A and B are shown apart, each in its own frame.
Chain A
Amino acid sequence: MALTITCPICGKRNGYEFRFGGEEKGPRPAAHGLNPETWCDYVHNNNCVAGVQKEWWSHRDGCGSWFTIFRNTLTNLEADEPEERYEQV
């Protein structure tokens, strides 16, 4: 795996060591007032950005922490936080 990820605790490591945790979508919505559509959106529907996205990773074979990084999905390289971020669809 060509990807490298910078763990906030362990530093830059090989992508093999990490588990992907999906796009950043914000905290779990509260249970009441939820309808199946919004719930499904939260759980299953992704923005699938072609470009820089914020996403969750776990350093599975290291410290075990969950953290977010920015990654350019077109180059599969870690990226800096973009200055302007698209609104969540």
Chain B
Amino acid sequence: MNRFNQLLTLRIDPTRKKAFTYLGKTYQGAEGDTVASALYANGVRIFARSLKYHRPRGLYSLDGECSNTCMEVDGIPNVRAENTLLKNGMAVKAQNVKGTPEKDLLGFMDKMSWAMPAGFYYNTMHKPAMIWPIALKQIRKVAGLGKLAPDFAMTGKYDEIFPTADVCVIGGGPAGMSAALSAAENGLRVIILEARPWLGGFFEYRVAEYQNEVPLYQRARDLAKQVADTPDIRTFTHTAMVGAYSNNLITAFQIGGANDSFDQRYIEIRAQSVVVATGCIERPLLFDNNEKPGVMQIGCAHRLARTYGLLAGEKAVFSIGHDLGLEAAIDLFDLGLKISCVADIREDGQDPGLVEIMQRKKIPLLRGWVATEAHGKKTLNKVTLSTLQGTRDKEFSCDLLVASAGMTPVTGPLTLAQAKLAFDNHTGFFLPTQLPVKMHAAGRMSGLNDALAIEASGRCAGLQAAADCGASVDANLDEARTSLESRPGPVKGSKMVTAPVKGDKTFICFDEDTTVKNIKQAIEKGFDVTELIKRFTSAGTGPGQGGIPGHNLPLFVAQYNADPDVSAKPTTIRPPLVPTFIATYAGANHDMCKRTPLHALQKKAGGVFRRVGVWNRARYFSQDFTCRDEIDNVRNNVGLFDASTLGKFKIWGPDALKALQRVYVSDMSKISDGKIKYSAMCNEDACLIDDGVVIKRGKNDYYFTTSTARAGATVEWIRYHTRYDGWNYSMVNLTDAFGVINLAGPDARKVLAEITDADVSNDAFPYTGYREFKIKNTIPVRAMRLGFVGELSYELHAPSSYMPALWEILEDAGSEFNIRNFGLEAQNVLRMERCHVIIGAESEQRTTLHDVGLGFLWDRTKTDAKTVGAFALKQTEKQAGRLKLVGFKTEDSDARAPRDGSIIVDTKIRGYVCIARHSHTLDEVIGLALVDESLAKIGTKLEIYEDECGDKRLYAVVAPTPFYDPEAKRLKM
């Protein structure tokens, strides 16, 4: 197809070719083409088949308002071809097609439409129920848009940014640009969002005169240059606004260009004030076969020529209701389009200048006529026009029908922001009657048509927005208002909704194949509210988000119901306003995990890392995931464990002890010098939320640890529960400032003695002791004798920067004792053998301190402390029907360990397995479970049900705990 290559309005560069494939063939497009315009340039007229009836569909609006041109591009389904710039090597496929879009084997579905009245799913598919699964499969074969393979993985680069602005302008047309410039002149930072890849709106492609022989497109470029030259305006082009929320939070997504580091990026803008200048789209004209390829809107035909250098057809008929249609007819006529006839819905009121030009050029104009039917097997070859009452008709053969009922404002952003809209009789628009605070509407969406009036209204809105931000704009605002009032106001709009047709094949919603007949069926069934009709007929629920039926639906319903007061309202719009990839919302999907100071060393030592909460932790140190060697070494020699993820805190000040008393269940005034105190925190319901140790380092100075998962919330928790008291204490989270190494095993003392001068003998540093000393006379450590893994062990806390050195020193000193790393899984088994609980493993959110057998920690005498959970601890102490933590063993020591989380059953669910492993040390299968009190007695047989185990069960017996070293001799040795 020949393309214009000299037009000044072109946005393509025909000399720079881009190759792409479609239907197995390679085609050429030009730089600047969208996928849709490139296909059109190559003669493609049918882009897809429709959802239900497999009707051929083609270009209609060029702005992606319907699914007509949703295609599969590079394996990604439902890509809006009209909004996607062509790239070299793109592979494009049509959707919902069996065969090719031209020859679709399911094309016969169109003849079946009689069998699918509105609500046919609801009416026919529920009885008998067994029919559903069968019908569903068949329907899915036939209906739908893009298809996703189950193993589909999204490709592309996605990003996100969160800019702030004083003023956010939605829409980069003349009004939007004027608003932005006015606001920026008052020293404000402005963001403009424009859906198309360039600024200019509906000026941008038109050659009609703006003023003083300057054409509109030139004016658009002048404004765009002014915007570009204003440093306080940040412009996002090819950026669709998708959401508006309270406090003027605007969301959008941008499609990346050739030089951008992203394919799409999510933008979330916090603005003080917002100007909505989204302009208008065309209200689709309703007549028979109104979506046949070859029928398109004015802007589509006009922009195809002016922006993309393509004449949409050879011989055209126009059926329009707005002066833009006349202007387009004249311009396209000048570019070589043959025009059989221009039918204008309006009997009068046309711009006399345009009518005169048409007469001069001998373009026939029929006033008060409208298209009633488009003919043609697949694409258009003939049009029937008739008078508005349908009394007379004429036929014209043609391959292009430019059809549109009139303009309609893009009110989506306003509705999202919960503005009130009402039907305006003069313009035929839904206009805002009440805007949210600090939101302004401007430009063509308020019904204006005059170029200078549109700009003036933009200036007004920009200045009002500036005033919202505190700028003093009174003088300028008065001036802008005066110039707005001096220009023509809103123009009278065409109110026609549907041509005089029955409506069997008149599509009000293209995405969902909803016809005017379907709407009538719904109304006759008793649905009288547009919202309900929308749901019953699914009109406006497709990917176009109501772009096509948008305002036609409420207007049609009002007209059909002969609603006298036209209380019709557009149906509710919800974000995203424009179909958005979930990948775009996900953004770059950063993995924001934390690493311990020992990460690199453990990696080098062969650590296998797993994400655990916010941390990336070494779970194993070999490919043997039973960790047999790691466990053996701790039990027999000495092991080294990175426990840096533990929460670590300092709390100090005159009231520090009171704060501890408030959150810990034990009496924290009884912490001895040089000793650790183990205690727990509960929530108000007595449920266990944390455990750890507290150390008193000096007067009013405490150091305490929390479990890893709880580290993030601890400061907040303590402050929350003391918020009324005005206590004088301070707290600092040292979790990242300090690292922790657990040196554990019978030889641990020997290793430690080699590297410190401090006396670490059992007498000088006994079990549950706390000491501070230096390693190699340099590294200050806080050492605690704990026994989480059930062996002699030292927990060494040291500043993070020293951790790698400390680790290497310990490895060196321990080499003669066969020291080696152990990971999280080994620790898990070791502590389980000793029955030390981990919160979150042996407890869940309903598990109380009593349930896990830690009730002894609770001090019931300190009532003045108002300890969190104390009241509920009393209430639940003897409460019946609770789950209790028990140990169990399988009867057969060769049995497989049940999976963690398996449930314990008899006639009903009685509990669950918290953890179970084959203990190499004991050569038994052991585990911990939370079970119903009735099953908690030692010797009770437990029946364990695993997922997908069918009739098979695993059996275990409640056993005394701890399993390993019940007298705790090894801890104290």
Contacts and interface: CB of A to CB of B under 8 A. Distances in A.
Interface stretch (B257-265, B423-431, B717-725, B938-946): B717-725
Contact of A31 (B245, B685, B723, B871): B871
Contact of B247 (A3, A28, A43, A66): A3
A76 interface: yes
Interface in A1-51: 1-4, 14, 19, 21, 26-28, 30-32, 34, 36, 39, 43
Given A32-B863, A58-B716, A39 B871 contact: yes
A31 B716 contact: no
Interface string B247-261: 101000000000000
Interface residues of A, number: 26
A19 B721 CA distance: 14
Contacts of A19: 716
B866 A58 contact: no
Nearest to A32: B863
A59 to B, nearest CB: 10
B418 to A, nearest CB: 9
A2 B245 CA distance: 6
Report which residue of A31, A34, A39, A75 has the largest number of chain B beta carbons within 10 angstroms of its beta carbon. Answer: A31
Contact of A3 (B246, B870, B871): B246
A46 B484 CA distance: 52
Nearest to B251: A2
Contacts of B725: 27
A76 B417 CA distance: 13
B719 A66 contact: yes
A2 B719 contact: no
Nearest to A15: B247
B720 A77 contact: no
Contacts of A77: 246-247
Nearest to B733: A64
Interface in A50-69: 56, 58, 60, 64-66
A64 B715 contact: yes
Contacts of A66: 716, 719-720, 723
B863 A2 contact: no
Contacts of B871: 31, 34, 39
B870 A2 contact: no
Contact of A75 (B246, B270, B715): B246
Contacts of A34: 871
Contact of A65 (B719, B863, B864, B870): B719
B270 A31 contact: no
A26 B724 CA distance: 8
Contacts of A56: 720, 723
B720 A21 contact: yes
Contacts of A1: 249
A1 B245 CA distance: 8
B720 A58 contact: yes
Nearest to B684: A43
A1 B724 CA distance: 28
B113 interface: no
A2 B863 CA distance: 42
A27 B720 CA distance: 11
Contact of A14 (B270, B715, B719): B270
Contacts of A27: 724-725
Given A4-B247, A21-B723, A58-B716, 10 more contacts: A2-B247, A2-B249, A26-B724, A28-B724, A31-B864, A36-B875, A56-B720, A56-B723, A66-B720, A76-B247
20 contacts: A2-B246, A3-B246, A14-B270, A21-B720, A31-B863, A34-B871, A39-B872, A43-B685, A56-B720, A58-B719, A58-B720, A60-B716, A64-B715, A64-B716, A64-B719, A65-B719, A66-B716, A66-B720, A66-B723, A75-B246
Interface of A: 1-4, 14, 19, 21, 26-28, 30-32, 34, 36, 39, 43, 56, 58, 60, 64-66, 75-77
Interface of B: 245-247, 249, 270, 684-685, 715-716, 719-721, 723-725, 863-864, 866, 870-872, 875
